[in-house]
DNA sequence: TAGATTGTTAATCGATTAACAATC
DNA sequence: TAGATTGTTAATCGATTAACAATC
């Protein structure tokens, strides 16, 4: 009854997809072996971190030689659960929802948008994406059926902020256990449901902070840009 | 010549926009004062963290009372450089670039898309967004002019992965100092340029990992879902 | 064997949290 | 004054990194 493998640190889990991406690229270039130093360089991290991260997966390298690219790709994919495709459902077919449904980057990396739903009857029926991967916007009432039919466990919230909490509840009620939230609100979900949040404006706000610092670093010390204290 | 303020930890900078979002919401609801406990609850973190984070900005609370919402909004905005709008330019007018240019969430939070460029002549001329904020796709050759005219310092890379590095170089050459990268590649930029990366598929991959764990936790110990070791 | 590179240990660093004196 | 809540200290935890023995 002991777990087969210790928990992998969050920080490592977040980097594994980056290593995977780099390794797949190298495999395509015909590279068979790579050292922690080489992988680190390409992934933009340091070599000790690469070795430590990979050591959580097991001892898959060869001392004096490095790591076999194809084998490492296989192991990282297996660890992340990427050895099979994942169906995904999107709730909210506005600007962003439509772009996500039509975004090839998901399908390319093993995620199939099997459904997109919206409350707005005017949006229902719109076809998004192309070829085999095209989906049609359906009413929210069909969410449970879509989830049940396709065995979806990952849902994407792409509604306006005011509708996001209800959307999340509808996803959870339909059986979704992982949520990717694009709405700028904090979602409340039952324990056991995993939420990740991507707030596009927040990313810009953080860049704004860095730009701001750059400006004040550049400003002369007697600058008029001084902070105002009450 | 000493810096007016110690550096704020990255983890804190990443949370400030969340506090800001919650505080603006509360201000709209007519709430004047909030305790670290209340803000923590709404932001989904713990109260000690809120107090520590806010303490990096200064001592803006009142013991026994809490924080004045409006004043905290003002201070966080000032710290993040959000006391004025920021112009933003997008390179790449595919699916994602078009969605970002038309995405109201940027403008709502103080970011103006002042230009979007693409190498594809077929894309040039497409109008995106609506009303005052509409922009027209322009050729990449106009990038330097757009940056110079609008004083843009933040650029968004929304090209396919194969074009992303060159796109980043064009942004930097045009004078951009902060880059938001949506392409699934590691960008190489000169020191001094800040890059943040948002990889939509990576977010799904991390959720995939959590789903995978959920499955193997649920599977009986003699399950056929056992990992294959060589 | 000599050279290279992993996997792991131990040191360091940074972030989180509990606890509480300060103070409204 | 009594109750509430901040701001800060100190303890804890987790992540990063350097260093090096193990080993190909």
Strand D closer than 7 Å to the CB of B64? yes
Contact B86 A1 (CB under 8 A): no
Contact B180 A203 (CB under 8 A): yes
Give the C-alpha separation, A144 to B59, whole Å: 49
Which 3 state secondary structure label does DSSP give B129?
Answer: coil
Is A25 strand, coil or helix?
A: helix
pLDDT digits (tens, 9 = 90+) for A141-164: 999 999 999 999 999 999 999 999
Contact call for A103 and B109, based on CB within 8 A: no
Best probe of the B interface among A201, A219, A225, A229, by most B CBs < 10 A, is A201
Measuring from the CA of residue A52 to each C1' atom, give the nucleotide at the shortest distance: C7
The pLDDT of A207-230, averaged and rounded, is 66
Angle at the Cα of A183 (from A177 to A189), degrees rounded to 5?
35
Residue B226's pLDDT is 38
User: Looking at the predicted structure, is the pLDDT value of residue B223 above 50?
Assistant: no
Over range B112-117, report the average pLDDT. 97
A229 confidence band (pLDDT: 50, 70, 90): very low
pLDDT surpasses 70 at A36: yes
User: Is strand D less than 7 A from the beta carbon of B216?
Assistant: no
Beta bridge partners of B194: B178
Q: What band does B13 get if pLDDT is binned at 50, 70 and 90?
A: very high
Asked if the Cβ of residue B31 lies within 7 A of any atom of strand D, the reply is: no
| Residue B126 burial (10 A CB sphere; 0-12, 13-18, 19+) | middle
Q: Is the pLDDT of residue B104 over 90?
A: no
Average pLDDT on B180-190 reads 96
For residue B57, give the nucleotide whose C1' atom is nearest its CA.
D7
Selected residue with higher pLDDT from A22 and B220: A22
Is B88 in contact with B147 (CB distance < 8 Å)?
A: no
The pLDDT confidence band at residue B1, using thresholds 50, 70 and 90, is very low
Band (pLDDT 50/70/90 cuts) for residue B129 is confident
Least confidently predicted of A3-12, A146-155, B37-46: A3-12
Cα distance from A80 to chain B (closest Cα, Å)? Answer: 4
The pTM score is 0.92
Averaged pLDDT of chain B = 92
Give me the pLDDT at residue A220, please. Answer: 55
Strands (DSSP E) contained in chain B are 33-34, 61-62, 66-68, 86-91, 111-118, 127-128, 135-139, 154-157, 178-181, 194-197
Half-sphere exposure of A130 (CA within 13 A, CB side): 3
Contact B95, A99 (CB under 8 A): yes
Determine the pLDDT at residue B220.
Answer: 56
Q: Would you say the C-beta of B36 is within 7 Å of strand D? A: yes
**Residues of chain B above pLDDT 90, percent:** 86
Residues 33-72 of A with CB under 7 A from strand C: 35-37, 47-48, 51-52, 54-55, 59-67
Model pLDDT, residue B222: 46
Predicted pLDDT at A219? 64
Question: Does residue B173 carry a pLDDT above 90?
Answer: yes
Look at residue B126 and tell me whether its pLDDT is greater than 80. Answer: yes
pLDDT band at A226 (very low <50, low <70, confident <90, very high): very low
Residue B62: strand pairing partners: B66
Predicted confidence at residue A129, as pLDDT, reads 86
Half-sphere exposure of B86 (CA within 13 A, CB side): 28
Question: CA B52 to CA A13: how far, in whole Å?
Answer: 27
Has residue A224 got a pLDDT over 60? Answer: no
Report the residue from B1, B79, B205 with minimal CB separation from A221: B1
Q: What per-residue confidence (pLDDT) applies to B230?
A: 30
Shortest CA distance from A79: residue in chain B: B209
Higher-scoring residue by pLDDT: B69, A1: B69
Contacts of residue B110 in chain A, CB cutoff 8 Å?
A: 208
B211 contacts A80? CB cut-off 8 A = no
Strand C at less than 7 A from CB of A11: no
The secondary structure element, H or E, covering residue A34 is strand A33-34
Mean pLDDT computed over every residue of chain A: 92
Rounded-to-integer distance, Cα B92 and Cα B113, Å: 13
- Ramachandran region, residue B88 (left: φ > 0; alpha: ψ -120 to 50; beta: rest): beta
Check if residue A172 sits with its Cβ under 7 angstroms from strand C: no
Task: Tell me the C-alpha distance between A138 and A118, whole Å.
Answer: 6
- Interatomic separation, CA of residue A63 and C1' of nucleotide D20, rounded (Å): 14
Q: How far is CA B19 from CA A180, B38, B53, B60, B69, in A?
A: 20, 11, 10, 14, 10
Confidence band (pLDDT; 50, 70, 90) for A3? very low
Work out the average pLDDT over B164-189: 97
Confidence of residue A131 (pLDDT cuts 50, 70, 90): confident
Confidence of residue B6 (pLDDT cuts 50, 70, 90): low
CB contact under 8 A, A203 and B198: yes
Whether A134 has a pLDDT exceeding 80, the answer reads yes
Please give the distance of CA A208 from its chain centroid, rounded to a whole number.
Answer: 23
* CA-based nearest distance A167→chain B, Å: 18
Q: What's the whole-number mean pLDDT along residues B198-207?
A: 97
């Amino acid at each position: 009854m002991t777990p087969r493998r210790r928990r992998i640190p969050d920080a490592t889990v977040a980097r594994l997809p980056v290593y995977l991406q780099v390794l797949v690229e190298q495999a395509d270039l015909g590279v068979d072996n790579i050292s922690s130093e080489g992988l680190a360089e390409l992934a933009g991290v340091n070599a000790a971190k690469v070795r430590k991260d990979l050591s959580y997966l097991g001892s898959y390298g060869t001392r004096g030689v490095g790591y076999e690219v194809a084998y490492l790709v296989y192991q990282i994919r297996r660890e992340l659960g990427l050895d099979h495709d994942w169906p995904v459902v999107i709730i909210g077919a506005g600007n962003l929802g439509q772009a996500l449904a039509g975004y090839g980057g998901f399908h390319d990396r093993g995620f199939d948008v099997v459904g997109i739903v919206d409350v707005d009857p005017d949006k229902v029926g719109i076809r998004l994406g192309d070829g085999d991967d095209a989906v049609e916007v359906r009413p929210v009432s069909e969410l449970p059926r879509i989830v049940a039919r396709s065995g979806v466990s990952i849902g994407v919230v792409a509604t306006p902020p005011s509708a996001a909490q209800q959307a999340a509840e509808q996803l959870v009620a339909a059986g979704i256990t992982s949520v990717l939230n694009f709405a700028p609100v904090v979602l409340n979900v039952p324990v056991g449901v995993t939420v990740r949040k991507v707030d596009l404006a927040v990313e810009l706000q953080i860049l704004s902070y860095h730009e701001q610092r750059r400006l004040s670093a550049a400003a002369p010390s007697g600058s008029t840009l001084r902070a105002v204290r009450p």
